[in-house]
Amino acid sequence: MLKKIAVGILLLSSSVSISLAATNTAAETASGHAKTTATNPEYYADMWYRDSAERNAIYREVYLLAEQIIKQKVAAQNLKPKQWGIVLDIDETALDNSEWNYQHDIQGKQQSWNNFATRSQSIPTPGVKKFINAIHQMGGYINFISNRPATLQAATEKDLKEQGIYFDQVLLDATNQGTSFVDKNPRFTAVINGQSPSKLPAQKILAWFGDNIQDFPGLYQKQMIKQNANGNAYNDFGVNFFILPNPMYGSWEANQFN
């Protein structure tokens, strides 16, 4: 599912290159990541995701604010337990798989992503366990909808359980296409209506979580990137939609860089 579209664009002025190279050397010494150079286009994305306080802070911030907003919605709408729920993506939303990116992009290991996923090497993203536990305590269903292939169903549920991440159901991509571009909307609708492949009763979804714009109902990268960033197209974010940062990969890789 993490097939990459080559990005390979690193446009740095010579002076910026020098200063980044210096920073890079320091970072390598500090973290032991002396496996590559700044010419690797994935280096800084992977490093930021794995070794930045900013990444940790953003995840904590998003999950904390979302919890408060959901609490307010449950009270305002007088919702009872099991009448409502939330939908979350898995990879780089609830599970941090950046170990694979580090091994693949920086160390040059050839292990497939699916093989990595079956070996339970992923860890929870910052703040997600506390957040999910709070939602579960409030009576909301935890629905994971991911484009991991359905062949990874058992491995994915095992990994989530081992990492202490509660869930009520996990709906993967039954077509096993192995790409993040599979349309999640039919599964979103199924969860809301309580129809197959959802195994739960109909529920009101109060919030959606993802690291890809296509983790949200009705949103597609091709259309959204053309929208005014300050226009109505993004109005649901911070209200009903909550997005986490992923500079390592995503539907954005197919966009034009201009």
Please provide the size of the chain in residues. 258
8 A C-beta contact, residue 85 and residue 168: yes
Q: Count residues contacting Mg ion (CB under 5 A)?
A: 4
Which residue sits closest to Mg ion, CB atoms considered? 91
Cα 88 to Cα 257: distance, rounded to the nearest angstrom = 28
Cα 151 to Cα 163: distance, rounded to the nearest angstrom = 20
How near is the Cβ of 6 to Mg ion at its closest, in Å? 20
Within 77-165, where are the H helices? Answer: 98-101, 113-117, 128-138, 153-162
Of the pair 33, 148, the CB lying nearest Mg ion is at: 148
**Looking at 96-104, 187-195, 206-214, 223-231, which segment touches Mg ion (CB under 5 A)?**
206-214
**Where does residue 139 rank: exposed (0-12), middle (13-18), buried (19+ CB within 10 A)?**
middle
Beta bridge pairs of residue 204? 84
Q: Please report whether residue 96 would count as binding Mg ion according to CB under 5 A.
A: no
Cα 139 to Cα 160: distance, rounded to the nearest angstrom = 20
Of the pair 74, 86, the CB lying nearest Mg ion is at: 86
How near is the Cβ of 128 to Mg ion at its closest, in Å? 12
Of the pair 74, 131, the CB lying nearest Mg ion is at: 131
How near is the Cβ of 255 to Mg ion at its closest, in Å? 17
How near is the Cβ of 120 to Mg ion at its closest, in Å? 17
Cα 140 to Cα 81: distance, rounded to the nearest angstrom = 6
Q: Please report whether residue 173 would count as binding Mg ion according to CB under 5 A.
A: no
Which of 74, 125, 211, 244 is close enough to bind Mg ion by CB under 5 A? 211
Which of 91, 96, 105, 159 is close enough to bind Mg ion by CB under 5 A? 91
Q: Please report whether residue 105 would count as binding Mg ion according to CB under 5 A.
A: no
Residues that bind Mg ion in the complex, under the rule CB under 5 A? 89, 91-92, 211
